[in-house]
Amino acid sequence: MIIFLKPNLDPKEEKNLRRFLVDRKIEVIPVDRKQEKLLVVVGRFGELAKREVESHPAVSRLLATDRPYKLASKSLKVSSQIPLKNGPLIGGREIVIMAGPCSVESKSQIQKMAKFVRQSGSHVLRGGAFKPRTAPYDFQGLGKIGLHFLRLAADSQKLPMITEIIDVRDIELVEKYTDIFQVGTRNMQNYPLLRELGKTRKPVLLKRGMWATYKELLLAAEYILIGGNEQVMLCERGIRTHVQETRFTLDLNAVAYLKHETHLPVIVDPSHGTGRANLVRAMSRAAIAAGADGLLLEVHFDPRVSISDADQAISVEELNKIVKEVKKVAQAIGRS
């Protein structure tokens, strides 16, 4: 159950409502959103208590939901759209393409890539400044200077940018530079990080853990949503299976399932989802056909010498082909 409070509510009236709920042993979590304030009920309460709460002068309305992910559920709303400065609505009619290198390697590299991303018809510049790598000896990213290079490159082409956040201690720093926070697969259940991102008001792309169920992904999103940050998008990036021919198995069932269950936009990362550059274009087309709202693609001018994820990085020529083919698929299903 979700309790919606009346707008412009006097703090005394809200305090009175909270005392009223405590007296009836109704536990709630307050959510202070941009347009409204609401209380998410923990557990259930009976019909009598429901009628009492519904008639309270501080309450605007009640919303029942039978899903454990109450704020991510379609019970709350049919769909959400996330506006971007200098970009389209994520979750709108237009398919959004986020493209760029796995890692920012130099100032000239990311500036050149930003120009190409704009020319290709893509919408968002991606790049990693902090890289969570399997081995501590692998390249870990350029850090703060990488963020600076990304911001300069994005601004030069009037593009929004997305970069990964891996440590709760870096949120304040990364927020100064990025337009979208990216939470990687290894941090999907880093709940302290998700809670802190809920306090920000910048969009968050939450990647599905390589081991996670759909329910676990949606409940992870709930940690951000209860902080009041409504700008959350989900990302399918492949899961571990017995298949050895690809790095991961891109689960496009997830796209259809999530579009049925949640109002949050759904993005697909076919680069990590396959781990093979020669499969990215086909899976990009398939992702849009399945209902995805956008793509997250790793692109490099010379994939063979990419510092990280060389096997899955596509060339700039391949990105051009993907953008053109994805537009055709989008038009075929009534999108653009």
How confident is the model at residue 137, as a pLDDT?
Answer: 60
Q: Which pair of tokens denotes residue 31?
A: 């959510």
How confident is the model at residue 140, as a pLDDT?
Answer: 64
Task: Render pLDDT for 227-236 as a digit per residue (tens, 0 to 9).
Answer: 999 999 999 9
Please check whether residue 313 lies inside any domain of the structure: yes
> Could you tell me the residue range of the domain that residue 232 belongs to?
96-332
Q: Are residues 168 and 256 in the same domain?
A: yes
Q: Of the candidates 63, 85, 114, which is a domain's last residue?
A: 63
Q: Of the candidates 63, 79, 109, which is a domain's last residue?
A: 63
Q: Are residues 47 and 157 in the same domain?
A: no
Q: What is the CATH number of the domain that holds 247?
A: 3.20.20.70
Please check whether residue 124 lies inside any domain of the structure: yes
Q: Are residues 168 and 27 in the same domain?
A: no
Q: Are residues 37 and 170 in the same domain?
A: no
Question: What letters, b where the CB count within 10 A reaches 16 and e where it falls short, cover 42-54?
Answer: eeebeeebbebbe
Q: Which pair of tokens denotes residue 196?
A: 């802190």
Q: How many CB atoms lie within 10 A of CB 41?
A: 21
Please check whether residue 82 lies inside any domain of the structure: no
CB 276 within 8 A of CB 247: yes
Q: What is the CATH number of the domain that holds 44?
A: 3.30.70.260
Q: Are residues 56 and 159 in the same domain?
A: no
Q: Are residues 59 and 127 in the same domain?
A: no
How confident is the model at residue 133, as a pLDDT?
Answer: 63
Please check whether residue 84 lies inside any domain of the structure: no
Q: Are residues 170 and 316 in the same domain?
A: yes
How confident is the model at residue 138, as a pLDDT?
Answer: 67
Question: What letters, b where the CB count within 10 A reaches 16 and e where it falls short, cover 255-283?
Answer: bebbbebbbbbbbbbbbbbbbebebbbeb
How confident is the model at residue 139, as a pLDDT?
Answer: 63
- Taking the alpha carbons of 276, 279, 284, 287 in that order, is the dihedral positive or negative? negative
Q: State residue 118 phi and psi, 5-degree precision.
A: -60, -45
Of residues 85 and 153, which shows the higher confidence score?
153
pTM value surpassing 0.85: yes
Check whether 197 has a pLDDT greater than 90.
Answer: yes
Q: How confident is the model at residue 189 (pLDDT cuts 50, 70, 90)?
A: very high
Residues in CB range of 303: below 8 A, 6 or more apart: 277, 310, 311, 313, 314, 315
Task: Render pLDDT for 32-41 as a digit per residue (tens, 0 to 9).
Answer: 988 889 999 9
CB 284 within 8 A of CB 323: no
CB 28 within 8 A of CB 40: yes
Q: Are residues 166 and 275 in the same domain?
A: yes
How confident is the model at residue 311, as a pLDDT?
Answer: 87
Q: Which pair of tokens denotes residue 27?
A: 């536990």
Please check whether residue 86 lies inside any domain of the structure: no
Task: Render pLDDT for 286-305 as a digit per residue (tens, 0 to 9).
Answer: 999 999 999 999 999 887 77
Q: Are residues 56 and 101 in the same domain?
A: no
As a whole number of angstroms, the distance between CA 185 and CA 205 comes to: 11
Question: What letters, b where the CB count within 10 A reaches 16 and e where it falls short, cover 77-97?
Answer: eeebebebeebbebbbebbbb
Q: Are residues 57 and 105 in the same domain?
A: no
Task: Render pLDDT for 313-333 as a digit per residue (tens, 0 to 9).
Answer: 999 999 999 999 999 999 999
Q: Of the candidates 45, 63, 81, which is a domain's last residue?
A: 63
Q: Which pair of tokens denotes residue 136?
A: 């501590």
How confident is the model at residue 211, as a pLDDT?
Answer: 95
Q: Are residues 144 and 185 in the same domain?
A: yes
Check whether 71 has a pLDDT greater than 70.
Answer: yes
> What is the tally of structural domains in the chain?
2
Please check whether residue 153 lies inside any domain of the structure: yes
Q: How does the average pLDDT of the chain come out, rounded? A: 93
Q: Provide mean pLDDT across the span 203-218.
A: 98
Q: Provide mean pLDDT across the span 262-268.
A: 98
Q: How confident is the model at residue 50 (pLDDT cuts 50, 70, 90)?
A: confident
As a whole number of angstroms, the distance between CA 65 and CA 13 comes to: 25
Q: Are residues 44 and 175 in the same domain?
A: no
Please check whether residue 211 lies inside any domain of the structure: yes
Task: Render pLDDT for 128-179 as a digit per residue (tens, 0 to 9).
Answer: 988 766 677 666 677 899 999 999 999 999 999 999 999 999 999 999 999 9
Please check whether residue 306 lies inside any domain of the structure: yes
